[in-house]
Amino acid sequence: MKITAVNAIPTSLVVNPKLAIVSAAGAHPESHYLAITIHTDEGLVGHGEATVAPAWSGESQGTALVLIQQMLSIALIGADPMLTNLLVDRMDRMLIGNPFTKAALEMALLDLKGKILGLPVHILLGGARRSTKIPLKFSIGAFSPKEAARIARHAGSLGLRAAKVKVGLVVEEDIARVQAVRSEMGDDFRLAVDANSGWTEADAVRALPALECLGVNALEQPLRRGDFRGCHRLRQRTHIPLMLDESVFTPQHAMEAIREDASDFISIYPGKNGGILRSMEIAQMAAAAGIECTIGSNLEMDLGTAAMLHLAVAMPNLATTVDHDIIGPLYYLEHLTQAPIRYEDGCAILPEGNGLGLEVQRSQK
Ligand SMILES: [Mg+2]
């Protein structure tokens, strides 16, 4: 079997305005993504999505489209779609960076491979190590305390018992926001914070006593990207576990985090890491160092969310004391797949079926 074509269709979705994310990394009111289809000479196809965000990785809908059309598709067309490792390595040699763009193609390759073999993607990864229901935390943007409390109530109405609150702007306002969510949802609600690289080390040190009093269970990316030493120092000052997100895009970054003893958790997900297989490499390295991984998010649509779920069930070290961000479809009012990802009891459910386990709508084929 040979790959005959790689199609990328610009796709834009409006985030539910009542839930839009605002953070130290900026606002995310709309998603401008690509829907990917890989075709073969035997009629089977694989689907993926490029969930690009310029402020996150420097990739946009436009750069992803050009790079796929002019470069990465050339790496794939004519190739045997079963040779995932070889094709992923080939894309990495051809193009530095651009993880969300590459992840979209890898996702479609694994979806296709699963359909060829008649197996779900998580079986291709070695099979599920845990329940196929993954517990979630909602993401609450950097809004006023009142608005943050309203969004927390919405999360509660969806059955979620955990959230992360965006901080990393003005420390006193950040704390007031976290306080409002704690007061609204009570002491049993699991609460993390995500500074999205927005704090200085002095800001973080100033925020720590209040965050400790508020029972925060994870401090995500408090300092600027790559400041492993600063995170190491922060860890000496608090019992709140520290999580790295923006600092760990690649296995090399994860190695640096481990060497510098800079984190308790590493947030991974296929888009940020350049695909499911690269996320798995980071998870395995972290597992060897005794570090658990959480699944992060860039507001994926349903296919990207399915890719996260296949990874989550198969990886060796999914965190159990902090919940996961497999939440993208909860923020959109429309879906490109025939059936959306299912949510139940505050968990995302692994879709059943071959490949990623979702069928796209006819207009996307
Ligand atoms: Mg984050």
Based on the domain organization, do 226 and 323 belong to the same domain? Answer: yes
Based on the domain organization, do 256 and 328 belong to the same domain? Answer: yes
- What's the 139 CA to ligand 1 centre distance in angstroms? 9
- What's the 163 CA to ligand 1 centre distance in angstroms? 12
Encoded tokens for 180 = 């409002």
Taking only the tens place, the pLDDT of each residue in 150-204 is 999 999 999 999 999 999 999 999 999 999 999 999 999 999 999 999 999 999 9
Last residue of a domain, one of 71, 96, 122: 122
Percent of the chain beyond pLDDT 70? 99
Q: Which among 327, 316, 343, 320 has a CA at the least distance from the CA of 128?
A: 316
- Cβ 36 vs Cβ 49: under 8 Å: yes
CATH number of the domain within which 68 lies: 3.30.390.10
User: Residue 104 belongs to what domain range?
Assistant: 3-122
Q: Which among 283, 257, 298, 293 has a CA at the least distance from the CA of 103?
A: 298
- What's the 219 CA to ligand 1 centre distance in angstroms? 10
Strand partners, 28: 21
* 43: in domain: yes
Task: Tell me the average pLDDT of the chain.
Answer: 96
Taking only the tens place, the pLDDT of each residue in 269-282 is 999 999 999 999 99
Based on the domain organization, do 147 and 284 belong to the same domain? Answer: yes
- What's the 295 CA to ligand 1 centre distance in angstroms? 10
User: In the predicted model, what is the mean pLDDT of residues 90-117?
Assistant: 98
Confidence tier at 292 by pLDDT (50, 70, 90): very high
Based on the domain organization, do 285 and 173 belong to the same domain? Answer: yes
CATH number of the domain within which 336 lies: 3.20.20.120
Strand partners, 27: 22
Distances in Å between the Cα of 356 and the Cα atoms of 20, 22, 178, 337 are 27, 30, 36, 11
* 360: in domain: no
- What's the 221 CA to ligand 1 centre distance in angstroms? 6
- Examine the pLDDT at 362 and tell me if it is beyond 80: no
- What's the 296 CA to ligand 1 centre distance in angstroms? 6
Mutual orientation of helices 99-117 and 276-288 as an angle, nearest 10°?
100
- Examine the pLDDT at 105 and tell me if it is beyond 80: yes
- State the pLDDT at residue 28: 84
- Per the model's pLDDT, the better-predicted residue between 135 and 24 turns out to be 135
- What's the 273 CA to ligand 1 centre distance in angstroms? 13
Based on the domain organization, do 177 and 317 belong to the same domain? Answer: yes
Based on the domain organization, do 183 and 304 belong to the same domain? Answer: yes
Encoded tokens for 266 = 């590493």
- Examine the pLDDT at 297 and tell me if it is beyond 80: yes
Based on the domain organization, do 165 and 52 belong to the same domain? Answer: no
**Beta pairing class for 133-135 and 138-140:** unpaired
* 241: in domain: yes
Based on the domain organization, do 106 and 210 belong to the same domain? Answer: no
* 50: in domain: yes
* 357: in domain: no
- What's the 184 CA to ligand 1 centre distance in angstroms? 23
* 17: in domain: yes
Based on the domain organization, do 80 and 168 belong to the same domain? Answer: no
Residue 32's H or E segment, with its range, is strand 30-40
- What's the 25 CA to ligand 1 centre distance in angstroms? 9
All residues at 6 or more sequence positions from 211 whose CB lies less than 8 Å from its CB, including other chains: 175, 178, 193, 219, 238, 240
pTM: 0.96
Based on the domain organization, do 103 and 232 belong to the same domain? Answer: no
Taking only the tens place, the pLDDT of each residue in 217-252 is 999 999 999 999 999 999 999 999 999 999 999 999
Last residue of a domain, one of 122, 149, 181: 122
- What's the 220 CA to ligand 1 centre distance in angstroms? 6
Strand partners, 365: none
- State the pLDDT at residue 212: 98
- What's the 114 CA to ligand 1 centre distance in angstroms? 30
- What's the 252 CA to ligand 1 centre distance in angstroms? 19
- Exposure string (b/e) for 167-206, b if CB count within 10 Å is 16 or more? bbbebeebbebbbbbbebbeeebbbbbbbbbbbebebbbe
- What's the 224 CA to ligand 1 centre distance in angstroms? 12
- What's the 86 CA to ligand 1 centre distance in angstroms? 30
- What's the 245 CA to ligand 1 centre distance in angstroms? 5
- What's the 195 CA to ligand 1 centre distance in angstroms? 7
* 148: in domain: yes
- Examine the pLDDT at 29 and tell me if it is beyond 90: no
Cα–Cα distance measured from residue 330 to residue 171, given in angstroms and rounded to the nearest whole number: 28
Encoded tokens for 130 = 């845990």
Based on the domain organization, do 238 and 304 belong to the same domain? Answer: yes
* 265: in domain: yes
- Examine the pLDDT at 308 and tell me if it is beyond 70: yes
Based on the domain organization, do 132 and 78 belong to the same domain? Answer: no
- What's the 21 CA to ligand 1 centre distance in angstroms? 11
- State the pLDDT at residue 35: 97
- What's the 81 CA to ligand 1 centre distance in angstroms? 33
Radius of gyration of the chain (CA): 20
- What's the 77 CA to ligand 1 centre distance in angstroms? 35
**Number of structural domains the chain divides into:** 2
